[in-house]
Structure 1
Amino acid sequence: MSTAASQPVASIVTILMVAGMVLTVMLTTGRTVGAEQRVIASIDSAGTRSIVVRAEPGAGVTSDVLDRISGISGIEWAGAFSSAIDATNAAIPGGTRVPVRYAYGSRLDYLGVPAADAPTAYGSPLALEQLGLVDGAGGISLTTGASYPVAGRITTPDFLAGFEPLVLVSQPGAAGDEPVSALVVIAEEPDLVAPVSTAVLSVLAADDTTKVSVQTSEELAELRSLIQGQLGSFSRGLVIVMVAVTGALVAILLYALVMMRRKDFGRRRALGATRGLIMSLLLTQTAGLAFIGVVIGATTASAVLAVGGDPLPGAEFTIAVCVLAMGTATSAALLPAIVAARREPIRELRVP
């Protein structure tokens, strides 16, 4: 870096240009990306990947449907639920009644229900409060006469918000012929909601399809894709412009620097420096200055966004911008480095 120190003005200008590029991209595109991630996370939290199949009594949908849909690709999780059955705190027979549903499936841990060898109840905070079991321990008695221990609380996911107050009783020994009132399927990606819902309906095996309804988040998934596409296009366009401008400015600056120092490069060639060494010298110098610039730019931008309460774009975006800025500056130095390496010693050292 001694060469860079010998040209303080040019070095400082290079650092400021790279830092300015990172700062501008982070405060514009980065802010947009952060907002995009926040909006998409908000949409996702509303269940853009959920498919809820509701079956009325007599529809003929049974818990063995889970075995049939297990072969469908693109499904992250699936669970089946019985119709609601009223239950009260076993210690308070005349207490508040809360709806309870039997839960079928081998991966109920997705809902926060641990695997158990015997049927066990878990409730949401709202349900446990109504039951008088705020500690998440005790027992419940159903109007059917069955009783189950309550082993803890669960957080109600967005796609089961309509079941609140929620109490689930796991059924590890289900035979497969139990009536199902609701089938919930979570697709791996929002774009898979439509094809997965079609595939699920094809293996539903309902006795009366007129008593089956499907609620999907396809519209939310389309909205998600639209938002992501529009914001992404704006972000990419702005980054391309900033990269082009910064690259051109760095190239012009370094080319002017080469012209100012052409006799210095001629002396180096006369003393035995190869063209490759001259090129490496300039490229390494530029990469070092660019590194300092991206650190300053990224740190300043992150601080400004944090102080202003704006959403941060995330580590991946920040690292990508820094790598892009360094790559742009180093690539822009390639042409000036070639020019410097091709200076002829005799011509540059000739005294008029």
Structure 2
Amino acid sequence: MLMVAGMVLAVMLTTGRTVGAEQQVLGSIDSKGTRSIVIRAEADAGVTSDVLDRIDRIEGIEWAGAFSSATDATNAAVTEGVRVPVRFAFSKDLSVLRLPDTSSAVGEMSYASSEALVQLGLADGVGAIALTDGRVFGVGGAIETPDFLRSFEPLVLVPSSQYSGSETVNIIVIVARQPELVAPVADAVNSVLAPSDSAKVSVQTSEALAQLRGLIQGQLGSFSRGLVVALLVLTGALVAVLLYGLVMLRRKDFGRRRALGATRTLIVALLLVQTAILACFGIAAGTAAAALILAIPGDPLPGAGFTVALAVLTLVTALLAALVPALVASRREPIRELRVP
């Protein structure tokens, strides 16, 4: 039990700390949009909202949305107030834009980030905005700006899930399902844009960040796997040696059990169950101690997936290590072990 606890503690304080740091680094990179593709088209490039229907047929895309060019707007009650840009948003899945629950019809209301509401003088999220072209939209509430729209701040959107396909769009944002799909998805999207002048269209991807993410994950992952394997092998060997020694010390006990009718299968099962129980106590103790040691200085903790996987691997390693000593114990001859010297 102490050996298993020590092994779990060692893995958690080395590989576990590394995995926690890796998750923090990857989370930081992901927060900057490693999966995002931003396509910018000038007003006369000929890109319209019907491009979303063609993009929808491309595999590997988690979300796609199109945005019109920005139109300045002010608080409807303060026509000379601060102007903020307003964009019309077109998407088949508007939930990604984190719109608040509202009964107002989509396309008739605007939604703004906290930063935009403060600049408009509508910090409570209630009121109306007036566009420079004369249109007026009510404010449906505040929205939390998604990571891939941070560059749009201050953000004000007039979302619409129903569009004719003829609306001119200037920005298309696509989120790939996985970072490694960014490059192929960008190429596929670029091939279906069908602009009237391709020179007026630019594609900005996070491919460099995606490659950096893969490099960091690969290097840290290979180091973590190697260290875990080495510690598991060492612990398995020590458990096997210890149990073999215990079998030799208790060989007369096993001989008595065999003489009383215990089968070889029962002897093996007894040793494996005993090992499993002790290993579970060791895993629990090692995990708790490691979590406490990591939490005191504020070091990153590995996720639940890593902890569960380590517990399962440790238990399997202990059982495999106990199998050979258990087989040896089951084959002890009762007559030989019970013979009085």
TM-score tier, shorter chain, comes to: over 0.9
- The Cα shift of 1:173 comes to 4.0
SS of 1:43 mapped into structure 2: helix
Please name the residue that 1:54 is paired with.
40
Please name the residue that 2:63 is paired with.
77
Amino acid in structure 1 at the alignment position of 2:150 = A
Please name the residue that 2:177 is paired with.
188
What do residues 223-254 of structure 1 show as CA deviations (whole Å, max 9, x unaligned)?
A: 00000000000000000000000000000000
Separation in 2, partners of 1:205, 1:45: 31
Please name the residue that 2:273 is paired with.
284
Please name the residue that 2:12 is paired with.
26
Aligned equivalent of 1:149, options 138, 144, 147: 138
Please name the residue that 1:9 is paired with.
none
Amino acid in structure 2 at the alignment position of 1:151 = G
What TM-score results when the alignment is normalised by the length of structure 2? 0.97
What do residues 1-38 of structure 1 show as CA deviations (whole Å, max 9, x unaligned)?
A: xxxxxxxxxxxxxx100000111101110000011111
Alignment check: 8 A CA contact 2:94 2:161 kept: no
Aligned equivalent of 1:258, options 243, 247, 251: 247
Separation in 2, partners of 1:141, 1:199: 38
Separation in 2, partners of 1:27, 1:351: 51
Alignment check: 8 A CA contact 1:119 1:172 kept: no
Separation in 1, partners of 2:202, 2:125: 34
Amino acid in structure 2 at the alignment position of 1:37 = Q
Moved over 6 A (4+): none
Separation in 2, partners of 1:147, 1:222: 44
Alignment check: 8 A CA contact 1:100 1:167 kept: yes
| Mapping 1:107-118, distance limit 5 Å | 107-113=93-99, 116-118=105-107
| Mapping 1:301-340, distance limit 5 Å | 301-340=290-329
Please name the residue that 2:163 is paired with.
174
Alignment check: 8 A CA contact 2:98 2:146 kept: no
SS of 1:207 mapped into structure 2: coil
Please name the residue that 2:332 is paired with.
343
What do residues 256-300 of structure 1 show as CA deviations (whole Å, max 9, x unaligned)?
A: 111111111111111111111111111111111101100100111
- The Cα shift of 1:172 comes to 4.1
What do residues 175-231 of structure 1 show as CA deviations (whole Å, max 9, x unaligned)?
A: 111111100000000011011111111110100000000000000000000000000
SS of 1:308 mapped into structure 2: coil
Please name the residue that 1:241 is paired with.
230
- The Cα shift of 1:335 comes to 0.4
Aligned equivalent of 1:63, options 30, 49, 64: 49
Amino acid in structure 1 at the alignment position of 2:201 = V
| Mapping 1:219-230, distance limit 5 Å | 219-230=208-219
Structure 1 runs not aligned, ≥5 long: 1-14
SS of 2:88 mapped into structure 1: strand
Residue 117 and residue 159 in structure 1: after superposition, are their counterparts in 2 closer, same or farther (change >3 A)?
closer
Number of aligned residue pairs: give it.
338
Structure 2 runs not aligned, ≥5 long: none
What TM-score results when the alignment is normalised by the length of structure 1? 0.94
Separation in 2, partners of 1:190, 1:64: 26
Please name the residue that 1:90 is paired with.
76
Residue 345 and residue 171 in structure 1: after superposition, are their counterparts in 2 closer, same or farther (change >3 A)?
closer
Separation in 1, partners of 2:196, 2:253: 89
Separation in 2, partners of 1:99, 1:182: 14
Aligned equivalent of 1:213, options 202, 222, 234: 202
SS of 2:43 mapped into structure 1: coil
Separation in 2, partners of 1:99, 1:323: 54
Alignment check: 8 A CA contact 1:120 1:149 kept: yes
Separation in 2, partners of 1:198, 1:244: 46
- The Cα shift of 1:119 comes to 2.2
Alignment check: 8 A CA contact 1:40 1:224 kept: yes
- The Cα shift of 1:91 comes to 0.5
Aligned equivalent of 1:102, options 88, 96, 114: 88
Aligned equivalent of 2:191, options 202, 213, 218: 202
